[in-house]
Amino acid sequence: MRCVLMVFLIAVIVAQGGETTKTTATRKTPCRTPANATSCYWTRGRLEFYNGNPSLRLWKIGTHRLLGIYSGPSVDRYGEDSGNPELPRSAERTFKPMVNRIFADFEVCPLEPEQKGAMQAVCIEAAKNIVVEK
C-alpha cells in the first residue's frame, strides 16, 4: 500500500513539474496567476502601438474600451514594462510595433478593476486567429 501511495505522489509531482515548465517556457513573466485566473477572459480586439503610456493598447472590437497592455501580474505605470510589455509568442512573432497592427482573439487577464472612462491595465495570456494589417 505504501508503495502505491509513493508512486502516486511521485506521479503527481512530476505532472505538476511538467506543467510549470510549459508555462514558464511560454512567458518569462506570469500573466495568469492563481489570484487573477478566474477574471481572465477571451475577447476579439486590435493590438496597436499608440503614443503615450502604455504604448501598446488593445481595442475591444464593438466597444469604446481601450486596454493598456502590461507584462503582469502587477502594474508599474511608469516603469519599463509599460513601454515594452511581454506578449505571447504567437502575437510576438507577427506584431511589429509602428509597422503593423494585429486583429486576434486575445485572452486577457485584468490587472486592476475596470473603471468607467479609464483605460484598464491588462496582460495578454494568449492570442489566436491572428490577422495582420499594415
- Residues 58-76 have a mean pLDDT of 90
What secondary structure letter does DSSP report for 25?
A: H
Q: How many CB atoms lie within 10 A of CB 123?
A: 31
pLDDT for position 4: 40
Which of 10, 97, 119, 7 has the alpha carbon at shortest distance from 47?
97
Confidence of residue 84 (pLDDT cuts 50, 70, 90): confident
Which of 104, 103, 102, 106 has the alpha carbon at shortest distance from 126?
106
Task: Answer with the residue of higher pLDDT: 5 or 96.
Answer: 96
Q: Indicate the range of 27-36, 39-48, 84-93 predicted with least confidence.
A: 27-36
**Percentage of the chain lying above the pLDDT 90 cut:** 60
Domain spans of the chain, in order of start: 1-28, 37-133
- Residues 12-24 have a mean pLDDT of 36
pLDDT for position 75: 78
**Model confidence at 66: pLDDT above 70:** yes
pTM for this entry: 0.75
Task: Answer with the residue of higher pLDDT: 115 or 14.
Answer: 115
